[in-house]
């Protein structure tokens, strides 16, 4: 029904835009995508975010048949026609007039009524996440970069945890900021561009991203897109204005970053970071995870839900999104965790949990960890400096915390030491552990997961 309505609506448009691109920098796993839309902005976004079609597409496991994406961002479905078939939108008190859908058999996707450009990007991300494990490829919601010695690092995390900011490092070459595949030959980017959060962006702390979006250039040579941000009649932006939304975004080609490799290929990761913006303020800023612990944290995908990406998010609370991208990971959990365990053990990748959230107290009491300190800890992990320091085991959360880190105050490594009220810290830590236990039982209690993974649940 939705496809019929989409084709009928497109047939009435005075002008359509066709964009022929692909996803997957590794041509063996490249998927052609044909975007058809009535909006030039959506076409530009697809041109920014999706890759050129590789010349050797014939070697792809998907063949040359394209996935077709129809995008009608400002049309709406008829609620009466879909009554009882689509969910009731509680904000409108009627059947939803928006749909983002995909058909894996016919290779068709439709964005109907959603003008958020992320709907286009995430629909295709979901398609890749569904298809790739069949061919032994682990899809990753995360960023990747490469150091001077060719060492690859991955940064996994939900929206707002710092994937783009931490992976955009002047000392390392960016492979991509959000969507990758891990195959037997290494890491490959799905995309051609970046889609960075812009709320509170500071040109001093994130100069590369700011320049990529805001540098002056001829309009036909620029192409960066800013959405969901306050703009004034004189053309200036206020990226600190969060009255309508914190989900301000910018889309730009990867080539706009001064230290990026648009080829989108790298070797196997030496280090993998799981990012969590912990608003409870109880997780350490960095901790080492053993393979079973890494599988547990990968499965849970913890962060704190903050106002921004999701409409209606108010006071922060614990949220869990399996594999750091639950809505976009449609297969059974063991399809992803099995590949992760296989690759971690085969390639010896070290995993760290990094808290990019709060310290000294929960949100509203403590303060957010300075991204410059987080960058120093990340670099210590990448350089191997953390391998030479002693660690202690956190018996509540089951991970290993460094006692020191070069260039970082010792007290910040132990979150309890940053809280004025130690009793309040312990109560908050136990509360978070309870959140983990409840979610693990709710989401995975009925699955035959390995006891080795279950044993890593906090508490």
Q: Which CATH number goes with the domain that contains 443?
A: 3.90.228.20
**178/266 same-domain check:** yes
- pLDDT 10s digits, 150-205: 999 999 998 889 888 899 888 999 999 999 999 999 999 999 999 999 999 999 98
> Do both 147 and 103 map to the same domain?
no
Residue 99 lies in a domain: yes
Same domain, 97 and 240: no
Residue 440 has pLDDT above 80, yes or no: yes
260 & 358 share domain = yes
pLDDT at 310 over 70: no
In this predicted structure, what is the pLDDT of residue 313?
Answer: 43
- Say if residue 314's pLDDT is above 90: no
The residue out of 81, 115, 149 marking a domain boundary is 115
Q: Specify whether 154 is located in the same domain as 5.
A: no
pLDDT, tens digit (0-9, with 9 covering 90-100), for 259-272: 999 999 999 999 99
Residue written as token pair 């960075």: 196
Q: Point out the domain boundary residue: 115, 148, 163.
A: 115
Task: Count the domains in the chain.
Answer: 2
Quick check: is 130 in a domain? no
Question: Rounded mean pLDDT of 382-397?
Answer: 95
Q: Are 219 and 274 contained in the same domain?
A: yes
Task: Answer whether residue 125 is part of any domain.
Answer: no
Give the end of a domain, one of 85, 115, 145: 115
Same domain, 37 and 153: no
Decide if pLDDT at 38 tops 80. Answer: yes
The CATH number assigned to the domain holding 34 equals 3.40.449.10
What confidence tier does 311 reach under pLDDT thresholds 50, 70, 90?
very low
In a domain, 124, yes or no: no
Percentage of the chain with pLDDT > 90? 87
Asked if residue 435 has pLDDT above 70, the reply is: yes
What is the average per-residue pLDDT within 34-41? Answer: 98
Q: Quick one: pLDDT at residue 213?
A: 97
The yes-or-no verdict on residue 409 having pLDDT over 70 is: yes
Across the range 394-403, mean pLDDT stands at 96
Confidence of residue 139 (pLDDT cuts 50, 70, 90): very high
Provide the pLDDT for residue 173.
96
70 within domain boundaries:
yes
- Residues 223-255 pLDDT 10s: 999 999 999 999 999 999 999 988 999 999 999
Confidence class for position 447, pLDDT limits 50, 70, 90: confident
Q: Is residue 127 domain-resident?
A: no
Provide the mean pLDDT of the chain: 94
Residue 94 has pLDDT above 80, yes or no: yes
Within a domain: residue 111?
yes
Residue 141 shares a structural domain with residue 213: yes
Whether 308 has a pLDDT exceeding 50, the answer reads no
* In-domain check, residue 122: no
Same domain, 194 and 295: yes
**pTM value surpassing 0.85:** yes
Domain span at residue 83 reads: 1-115
pLDDT tens digits, 324-355: 998 899 999 989 999 999 999 999 999 999 99
Are 92 and 162 members of one domain?
no
Asked if 99 and 161 sit in the same domain, the reply is no
Residues 364 and 263 in one domain: yes
pLDDT at 264: 97
Confidence of residue 316 (pLDDT cuts 50, 70, 90): low
Model confidence at 39: pLDDT above 50: yes
């Amino acid at each position: 029904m939705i496809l019929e309505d989409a084709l009928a609506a497109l047939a009435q448009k005075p002008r359509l835009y066709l964009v022929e691109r692909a996803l997957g920098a590794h041509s063996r796993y490249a998927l052609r995508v044909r975007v058809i839309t009535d909006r030039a902005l959506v076409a530009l976004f697809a041109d920014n975010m999706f890759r050129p079609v590789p010349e050797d597409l014939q070697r792809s496991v998907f063949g040359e048949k394209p996935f077709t994406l129809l995008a009608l961002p400002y049309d709406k479905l008829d609620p009466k026609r879909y009554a009882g078939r689509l969910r009731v939108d509680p904000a409108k008190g009627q059947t939803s007039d928006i749909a983002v859908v995909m058909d894996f058999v016919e290779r068709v996707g439709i964005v109907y009524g959603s003008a958020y450009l992320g709907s286009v990007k995430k629909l295709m991300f979901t398609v890749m996440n569904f298809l790739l494990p069949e061919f032994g490829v682990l899809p990753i919601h995360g960023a990747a970069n490469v150091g001077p010695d060719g060492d690859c690092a991955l940064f996994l995390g939900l929206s707002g945890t710092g994937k783009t900011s931490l992976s955009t490092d002047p000392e390392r070459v960016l492979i991509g900021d959000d969507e990758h595949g891990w195959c037997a030959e290494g890491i490959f980017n799905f995309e051609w561009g970046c889609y960075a959060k812009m709320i509170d962006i500071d040109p001093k702390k994130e100069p590369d991203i700011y320049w990529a979006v805001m540098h002056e250039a001829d309009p036909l040579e620029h192409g960066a897109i800013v959405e969901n941000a306050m703009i004034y009649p004189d053309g200036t932006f206020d990226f600190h204005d969060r009255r309508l939304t914190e989900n301000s975004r910018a889309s730009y080609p990867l080539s706009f970053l001064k230290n990026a490799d648009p080829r989108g290929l790298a070797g196997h990761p030496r280090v993998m970071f799981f990012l969590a913006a912990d608003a409870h303020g109880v997780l350490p800023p960095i901790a080492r995870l053993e393979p079973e612990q890494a599988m547990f944290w990968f499965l849970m995908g913890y962060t704190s839900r903050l106002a921004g990406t999701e409409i209606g998010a108010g006071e922060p609370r614990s949220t869990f999104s399996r594999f750091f991208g639950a809505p976009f990971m449609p297969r059974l959990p063991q399809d992803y965790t099995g590949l992760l365990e296989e690759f971690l053990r085969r390639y010896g990748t070290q995993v760290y949990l990094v808290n990019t959230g709060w310290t000294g107290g929960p949100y509203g009491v403590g303060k957010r960890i300075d991204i410059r300190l987080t960058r120093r800890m990340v670099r210590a992990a990448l350089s191997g400096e953390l391998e030479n320091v002693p660690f202690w085991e956190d018996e509540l959360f089951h991970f290993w915390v460094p006692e020191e880190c070069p260039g970082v105050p010792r007290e910040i490594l132990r979150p309890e030491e940053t809280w004025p009220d130690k009793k309040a810290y312990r109560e908050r830590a136990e509360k978070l552990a309870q959140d983990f236990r409840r979610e693990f039982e709710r989401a995975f209690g009925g699955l035959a997961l390995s006891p080795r993974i279950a044993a890593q649940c906090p508490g």
